[in-house]
DNA sequence: TAAAACTGATAACATATGTTATCGTCATTG
DNA sequence: CAATGACGATAACATATGTTATCAGTTTTA
């Protein structure tokens, strides 16, 4: 099997049963894309045509608010999906941009591909359901964290969960992710 | 058709095609519950066994954070679903409590019912997918609002979207929903 | 390799927001 | 109907967080 597809096969197999024949047919439609550091693969306002699966590297999902401020929404590490799922599903202009923070390899799943999968794969609808549920869980947890945890607690949880995040992501992006200013994060770190 | 099921039939029909036979069989499993004002139908820590469909009345979804503060997560008005969907799907202790703010009638869909529907209904999996997607959209919008809009802007949007909300929901619950103190909301209102 | 851009720390100051307490009004309840 | 509690406004004060500017070290780029 194409080595780039090994991990995405693992992940999809963890959601649904997919036999070899189905997989060969399905995965033949994947496209692979190499993205250079800082390159943008989705621009806010464009319709998001693909779900990206990060094979290696690192993506940043962010948007620009009314005041022109960049807000980082989340980071996509290896072996996770990344997209503006609402734009993707509804075919409406995306609220987010997605940018590579490192040279990154992604596997692209188009809308047509996912929707064909609903019919072609014996568990295609189930895959769609589980992907949506998974995405929902992430956002549910995120909202809950915002309501219940102070910025410094969320920072500590983040660095505990991803110990090497500080080596890979500039601190001002992390501050933006926490929805606080970079100055404030610097203060919090050095006074706790 | 049982009048209490009319609206939920409309809502489900807007998601999937469901023929008469399927509907009669499916809806026969609904239970209906009357909840008194202030009564709690889901307690934080319990496993959430049902999705609630609000026929009339009003629910408040909230949780108590580490400091013992009540945080209001969202309100469920008529003809919408309400649940702790993560607890419901994963059968883990719920993070939320759900309370009636008025005398309220709900239709209950159990986990078994929804999952049986995945097999029994010809579009059962699709229904599950669309419900998860819908829930995801709500949370996506919520997170985005938190990142991009100031409390007073979110307050104005809320009252514009639900003009009678102030007559139905005490202001300190709305402040809690906005994740600010009731004192601060009072100030913001009277100084803009 | 030199210039430019990026990054993170820090200080000084301004603003936003929380906390506590008080008060008057109104609704609920025994 | 009286007592109690819920509700919202307000004041005074404390804390959290943002903004702007500066600086030094590092990385990127021409």
pLDDT digits (tens, 9 = 90+) for A46-86: 999 999 999 999 999 999 887 788 999 999 999 999 999 99
Instruction: Give the pLDDT confidence score for residue B2 in this predicted structure.
Output: 65
* pLDDT of residue A89 exceeding 90: yes
- B162 CA to C19 C1' in angstroms comes to 30
Average pLDDT, chain A: 93
Comparing alpha-carbon positions, the chain B residue that sits nearest to A65 is B148
Buried b (16+ CB within 10 A) or exposed e, A39-74: eebbebeeebbbbbbbbebbbbbbbeeeeeeebbbb
Contact status of B136 with chain A (Cβ, < 8 Å): yes
Closest CA to A114 of A98, A126, A106, A104: A126
- A176 CA to C9 C1' in angstroms comes to 17
Nucleotides of D under 7 A from a protein CB: 6-12, 16-21, 29
Based on its alpha-carbon atoms, the radius of gyration of chain B, rounded to whole angstroms, reads: 18
Instruction: Name the residue closest to D16, CA to C1'.
Output: A184
The owner of tokens 């906005």 is B178
8 A C-beta contact, residue A119 and residue A80? no
* pLDDT of residue B1 exceeding 80: no
Instruction: Give the pLDDT confidence score for residue A49 in this predicted structure.
Output: 97
- A145 CA to D2 C1' in angstroms comes to 46
Comparing alpha-carbon positions, the chain A residue that sits nearest to B69 is A148
Whole-angstrom Cα distance, residue B106 to residue B176?
Answer: 24
Contact status of B2 with chain A (Cβ, < 8 Å): no
Q: CB distance B146–A95 less than 8 Å? A: no
User: B90-96: which pairs have CB atoms within 8 A and are 24 or more residues apart?
Assistant: B91/B47, B92/B47, B93/B44, B93/B45, B93/B46, B93/B47, B94/B42, B94/B43, B94/B44, B94/B45, B94/B46, B94/B47, B94/B48, B95/A144, B95/B44, B95/B63, B96/B42, B96/B44, B96/B48, B96/B61, B96/B62, B96/B63
Residues 58-117 of B with CB under 8 A from A: 63, 65-66, 71, 73, 85-86, 89, 95
Q: CB distance A136–B95 less than 8 Å? A: no
Express as a percent the part of chain A with pLDDT over 70: 98
- Closest Cα in chain B, distance from residue A78 (Å): 22
8 A C-beta contact, residue A51 and residue A98? no
Q: What is the pLDDT of residues B144-161, one digit of tens each?
A: 999 999 999 999 999 999
pTM of the model: 0.91
Comparing alpha-carbon positions, the chain B residue that sits nearest to A84 is B140
The partner residue sitting opposite B71, judged by closest CB among A118, A140, A147, is A147
Q: What is the pLDDT of residues B45-93, one digit of tens each?
A: 999 999 999 999 999 999 888 777 889 999 999 999 999 999 999 999 9
């Amino acid at each position: 099997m194409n080595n780039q597809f090994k991990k995405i096969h693992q992940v999809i197999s963890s959601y649904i049963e997919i036999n070899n024949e189905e997989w060969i047919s399905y995965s033949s439609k994947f496209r692979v894309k190499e993205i250079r550091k800082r390159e943008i693969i989705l621009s806010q306002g464009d319709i998001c045509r693909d779900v990206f699966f990060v094979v290696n590297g690192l993506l940043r999902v962010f948007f620009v608010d009314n005041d022109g401020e960049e807000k980082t929404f989340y980071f996509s590490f290896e072996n996770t999906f990344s997209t503006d799922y609402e734009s993707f599903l509804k075919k409406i202009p995306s609220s987010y941009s997605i940018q590579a923070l490192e040279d990154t390899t992604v596997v692209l799943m188009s809308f047509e591909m996912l929707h064909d999968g609903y019919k072609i794969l014996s568990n295609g609808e189930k895959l769609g359901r589980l992907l949506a549920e998974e995405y929902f869980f992430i956002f549910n947890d995120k909202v809950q964290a915002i309501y219940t945890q102070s910025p410094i607690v969320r920072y500590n949880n983040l660095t505990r969960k991803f110990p090497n995040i500080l080596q890979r992501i500039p601190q001002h992006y992390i501050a933006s992710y926490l929805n606080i200013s970079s100055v404030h994060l610097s203060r919090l770190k050095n006074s706790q």
